Amino acid sequence: MTAFRFAAIGLLVVVASAFGWRAVRSGMHAQKTTLPAQPANAQTASPQLQGTGLHAPSTSAPASESAKHLSHFSIAGREYTIDLETKKIQPGSTGAQGDTVVAMEIKDSEGTVQYRRTFPYIEAKEDYFESWSVSAFLLTGTNGTGLLVSYDVYSEPSAPEEEPTGWFQVFGVVNGKFIPFGAPLEVRGGLLDEYAEGHTYKATRALGAQADAIEFKTWTGHCRLIYPVGVDWAQGKLSPAQECTKSAGALTTGCEYRVVSEDKFYTEGITFVRLWARPDEQSGQPVNIVVKKDSKVALLTARVATRWVEGNAAGPSANSKGLIDDAGGFGVAADTELWLKVRIDGKEGWMHSEEDFRALGLPEDQ
């Protein structure tokens, strides 16, 4: 695996999607973006109106389709490319139109397809529009190098969301063979800006001698916790880097995760929140803490049960027509309680109920 460390690195970032619709619609809910889940410094194409789309060379695809041949990347001394087949979405009665990705291929230097995934194509209708986009980062860690590809779908109408749902898939070379490290992972959240450098997404730390941890953010309903995923370069597998699952009949109180800081709290005037000494209502009487508009609030830690679902490594079902149906995923477990450790004007404690989350002005889905 050490060879991976010295792999020549070149990379690409690719995004092809129905930008026209997005550009038109983005003004409708500027604070609740539904753009793909790449970090802000990822190289992504700016939204473009129809007619000014990506300038990828056309291939022999039908007139309504085109192929985007993207720059190559190198893993373990071998060159690979990602090609996207895109297709125009014909305008519906609303006039919305754009491109959508209908297939992605990863090819080796001889042009042999090492991996192919298709995406559903849905004609725009009077009341519905859907487009797919694909982006990729070179994934680098202490123990290996691979490719991190994300798949995103944009649809209208859609309710404003604090975090959109996307899919992530890791690829690498194991025993000389380029393979996906399992099925895509469905995540309501995405990558973290702090680990993205240009076209590269960096692992946060080594896990032993053959694995690295990469971190994602995932939405809890009121904040974004940081969820570490272990990438085993030798076995070509992903797994939770912090074991904390909630299984039927064996409820856990959850694990503690770091939390992404929030820029904005929706507080007005003066209010209060109840803070407990520990993440347990039986730990004693809560202390009421005054929160003013100019209070200094920091989110410190989330304690919550999470879930990890293995995807179908065999790939999508033959008659798959909808979302990525072979995906696994991770996130906050259902029917679990979120405890959040906060610091408010220097006072620390744990809070856990909807009324306190709202009193503090934490974000929430509308």
Partner 1 sequence: MPFMGMMRAANGTVSAISQPDAIEVRAWTGNFYVFVPLRVDWSHGGLAQGQRCVEMFGGRLKDVGCDMRVETVRKPPADQFTFARVFVEANENLGSVEHAVVQKDSKVEILGARAITTWNENAELIQPVFVDVWLHVRIDDRTGWIHGEENFAAVGLPGGSPAP
Q: Give the binding site for partner 1 (CB under 8 A).
A: 270-273, 288, 290, 355-356, 358-359
Task: Name the nearest CA neighbour of 35 among 170, 166, 205.
Answer: 166
The least CB distance from residue 283 to partner 1, in Å, is 18
Which residue lies nearer to partner 1 by CB, 8 or 290?
290
Task: Name the nearest CA neighbour of 145 among 315, 243, 265, 9.
Answer: 9
The least CB distance from residue 357 to partner 1, in Å, is 11
- Is the backbone peptide bond immediately before 279 cis, with ω within 30 degrees of 0? no
The least CB distance from residue 288 to partner 1, in Å, is 4
Residues in CB range of 28: below 8 A, 6 or more apart: none
**DSSP conformational letter for 352:** -
Q: Which amino acid is at 49?
A: L
Which residue lies nearer to partner 1 by CB, 251 or 290?
290
Three-state SS string over 85-133 comes to EEEEECCCCCCCCEEEEEEEEEEECCCCEEEEEECCCCCCECCEEEEEE
Which residue lies nearer to partner 1 by CB, 265 or 272?
272
Region class of 2: left (phi > 0), else alpha (psi between -120 and 50), else beta: alpha
Residues in CB range of 240: below 8 A, 6 or more apart: 227, 228, 229, 230, 306, 308, 330
The widest CA-to-CA distance across the chain, in whole angstroms, is: 71
Which residue lies nearer to partner 1 by CB, 254 or 286?
286
Contact 80, 72 (CB under 8 A): yes
Contact 71, 82 (CB under 8 A): no
The least CB distance from residue 290 to partner 1, in Å, is 6
The least CB distance from residue 291 to partner 1, in Å, is 8
The least CB distance from residue 346 to partner 1, in Å, is 16
Q: Count Cβ atoms within 10 A of the Cβ of residue 35 and give its class: 0-12 exposed, 13-18 middle, 19 or more buried.
A: middle
Which residue lies nearer to partner 1 by CB, 123 or 355?
355
Contact 226, 330 (CB under 8 A): no
The least CB distance from residue 353 to partner 1, in Å, is 9
Which residue lies nearer to partner 1 by CB, 9 or 270?
270
The least CB distance from residue 287 to partner 1, in Å, is 10
Residue for token digits 């029917």? 335
The least CB distance from residue 17 to partner 1, in Å, is 38
Which residue lies nearer to partner 1 by CB, 158 or 271?
271
Contact 109, 48 (CB under 8 A): no
Which residue lies nearer to partner 1 by CB, 128 or 272?
272
Which residue lies nearer to partner 1 by CB, 263 or 268?
268
- Rounded CA-CA distance 68/297 in Å is 46
Q: Three-class SS of residue 186?
A: strand
